[in-house]
Homo-oligomer: A and B are copies of this chain.
C-alpha cells in the first residue's frame, strides 16, 4: 500500500489513515463541514468534508483510523485531498492509531538496551543511582514520548531517540577530550529532557500540560532529582547532586531560552552544545529529505527561519 508522500498530483487512491485533527466549521451556505488532517507514517494531508451531519461529525473524530477513498490535489500551493468516500476502519482491519504515527528509526528494545549499557559507565554512585531510579520510575513514558510538540523529534519515541543520539555524540566527544568528566556528561544527557514526560500530554495529539506551561521541563526534571535523593537517602547538599541538578537546569544554554542559570560547569556547556547539534541536524535532515536536490528546503522555524540548499552535483 502506498504512503501519503508517495502520491502524485491528481492520483486517486484508497488508504487507511489516522484522523489527526477534525475541526468543525460553518460554510458560507450556513452548513457545517469538517476540516480534516489525515496522517500516516510518511506525513500528513488536509481535506474538507462538506455538508457534514451531526452523526458524521461525531463518528469521524480525531484519533480514529479510517479507510479513505480520495484524490490528491493542490490548493494554493499545498497538497490537499478531495474526499470521495470515507468509512471507519473495521476491527479486522489495521485500525490501531499507533500504526500511522511517525516514529524513531531505532527499535524501542534496542534503545532500552543501549541506555542500560550506558548507565554502567556512570561510575559516580550518586549519579548512577539517581539516573536508574528516575528511568525506572518513568520508563514507559520516556520510551514513548516525542521530544516536542513540533520542531525537532516531534514523533513517537522521539524523546528516547534524541537522548540516544546525544549519548553517542557525547561518547565521541569524550574520546577526543579526555579531561571531560564522562559520567557527568552521560548522566546529564539522560536526564536533561526527562521533564518532558510531565511537560507534554503524551505521544498522541501532544499538547502542553498545565505544569508544562507554568513550570517547564527543566524545573520538572530538576524536581525529580530532588525526589530521587529523598527516596534514595542521598544528601542534596552534596556537591555532585548540586552539579547534576545544574546540568539539567542549564542545558538551554542561555537565560533567553529558559534556563534559569547559564552553564557554569564545563560539562554543562558541552551538554548544551550537543543538544543543540543533535536538534539542528534532525531538523535539517527532516526538511532535506522532503526537498529535491538543487532546491531549497522550506524555512525551518527552529533554525531562525533559514532555508537550506540541497546540493545536486556533489
Which A residues form the contact surface with B (CB < 8 A)? 25-26, 30, 73-77, 82, 124, 127, 165, 168-169, 172-173, 175-177, 179-181, 184, 210-211, 213-216, 218-219, 222-223, 226-227, 230, 237-240, 242-243, 245-246, 249-250, 255-266, 269-270, 273, 276-277, 280-281, 284-285, 288, 296, 303-304, 306-309, 311-314
Contact = CB atoms under 8 A, between A and B. Distances in A.
B214 A314 contact: no
Contact of A284 (B213, B243, B266, B313): B266
B288 A239 contact: no
Contacts of A227: 226, 230
A270 B281 contact: yes
Contact of A277 (B270, B288, B306, B314): B270
Contacts of A306: 262-264
- How many copies of this kind of chain does the complex include? 6
A187 to B, nearest CB: 10
Contacts of A211: 237, 242
Contacts of A25: 74-77
B265 A308 contact: yes
Contacts of A210: 239, 242, 309
A307 B264 contact: yes
A313 B168 contact: no
The residue among A227, A230, A237, A309 with the most chain B CB atoms within 10 A of its own CB is: A309
Contacts of A264: 213-214, 296, 306-309
Nearest to A179: B285
A45 B168 CA distance: 42
B181 A176 contact: no
The 4 closest A-B pairs by CB, nearest first: A172-B172, A214-B246, A240-B314, A260-B260
Contact of A177 (B76, B216, B265, B285): B285
Contact of A172 (B82, B176, B273): B176
B169 A176 contact: yes
Contact of A213 (B77, B168, B218, B261): B261
Nearest to A168: B176
A303 B269 contact: yes
Contacts of A312: 239
